[in-house]
Amino acid sequence: MRLRLYRHRKMLRALLFFAFALICVVFAGPVEPVFGNTDGVTSIFRPLSQPAQEIKELSLLVLAICGAIFVVVAGLLVYAIVRFRHRAGDEASEPPQVYGSNQIELAWTVLPLLIVFVLILVTSRTIADIQNRQAPPSAVHATVIGHQWWWEIRYPELGIVTANELHVPTTDGGESRPTFIKLQSADVAHSFWVPLLAGKTDLVPNRENLMWIAPTRPGIYLGNCAEYCGTQHARMLIRVVVQPPDEFQQWVRDQQQSAAIGTSSAEGRKTFFATSCVNCHTISGTAAQGQFGPDLTHLMSRTTLAAGAAPNTPESLRKWIRDPQSIKVGSLMPNMQLTDAEVDQVVAYLQTLK
Ligand code: CUA
């Protein structure tokens, strides 16, 4: 009697755990990543670009097959548990055992083999289809380099360097204009993942991976680093800004300008260039040519700071420069110990970098 009670409690605990896990999975989707998610939830089930569409179709097929297997197995299990449960007056002896039925052995060997074979075939077809895609002459080429904890973005052919916000043109029926992305890492392994646009691809040190996207609808698409890379892995957000072709061209022209040399913030400029800011950051056309941190040439054209950890407003810029740890614990940007007045001057200068 004691033993039975104990067993029940164990089963109840397992059931509760299973229910909790299910609730976690169901509610994990709608949790908003940090802030500013204009488009609600990012989900692999409503793709707005190739190759995410192809991946979704494959996922649905795989889910359907696995779901059917789950229903059959779980159904048989529940049936056996209910139908053959312990009843008062049952004998304590073992029920008859069945060994060596060739039919049964064959069935549960061949059937799973066939299922796995089908899964391998459809998966490798999709992978080959995505990987063998060649860049058309109209394609945009970008290089994304993962850093702890931000994304460096380069367009070698366009001569543009920016960070954390990847701008790409839309592909509409008439003119196909995909963006081909080379992925590299400056330190540890990261993973580039924008669920509405494409699958995950890792950024591995000393290696170059390739991926491509061809979004059709303008908008801002949110993504995350999807490979644990240290303290601020969770706030290594990426934004893909998809623009109609003419808007994208305008953005390219703006980014190709050299940095504004404002006279309104001469003090701030002096402070900036007198501190070690210049060792880590580049501002094109100036003495600041550091490579360790994000390029600041057109800082004000970006909507966020610190890889999506804060909106790009004068207040958060001030907070960020005064004490980076207050926005992003573990950030590799040092506290420069500037006075309040100096912080204000540097913020005023950075505001001119449009
Ligand atoms: Cu970069 Cu996780």
* pLDDT tens per residue, range 191-219: 999 989 999 999 999 999 999 999 988 88
C-alpha 190 – ligand 1 centre gap (Å)? 4
CB 164 within 8 A of CB 175: no
Mean pLDDT throughout 24-29? Answer: 61
C-alpha 237 – ligand 1 centre gap (Å)? 9
Q: Ligand 1: residues whose CB is within 6 Å?
A: 146, 149, 190, 225, 227-229, 233, 236
Q: How many CB atoms lie within 10 A of CB 228?
A: 11
In ligand 1, the atom with minimum distance to the C-alpha of 203 is 1
CB within 8 A of 15, min separation 6: which ones? none
Percent of the chain at pLDDT exceeding 90: 43
Q: b/e for 109-145, b at 16 or more Cβ within 10 A?
A: eeeeeeeeeeeeeeeeebeeebeebeeeeebbebbbb
pLDDT at 147 over 90: yes
Q: What is the CATH number of domain 266-350?
A: 2.60.40.420
In ligand 1, the atom with minimum distance to the C-alpha of 228 is 2
**Ligand 1 atom 1: the closest Cα is on which residue?**
190
Supply the pLDDT for residue 279. 85
C-alpha 107 – ligand 1 centre gap (Å)? 45
Supply the pLDDT for residue 126. 93
Considering only residues 283 and 39, tell me which one the structure prediction assigns the higher pLDDT. Answer: 283
- Full-model pTM: 0.79
Cis-peptide into 334, omega within 30 deg: no
C-alpha 236 – ligand 1 centre gap (Å)? 6
In ligand 1, the atom with minimum distance to the C-alpha of 236 is 1
Mean pLDDT throughout 128-146? Answer: 92
And the tokens for 305?
């700071």
Location of each CATH 2.60.40.420 domain in the chain? 140-256, 266-350
C-alpha 208 – ligand 1 centre gap (Å)? 16
In ligand 1, the atom with minimum distance to the C-alpha of 146 is 1
Average predicted confidence (pLDDT) for the chain = 86
C-alpha 270 – ligand 1 centre gap (Å)? 34
* pLDDT tens per residue, range 49-79: 888 999 999 999 999 999 999 999 999 999 9
pLDDT at 33 over 50: no
Cα separation, 38 vs 166, in Å, equals 16
In ligand 1, the atom with minimum distance to the C-alpha of 229 is 2
Cα separation, 255 vs 234, in Å, equals 28
Question: pLDDT grade, residue 35 (50/70/90)?
Answer: very low
Mean pLDDT throughout 167-190? Answer: 88
Cα separation, 213 vs 181, in Å, equals 8
Q: What is the CATH number of domain 140-256?
A: 2.60.40.420
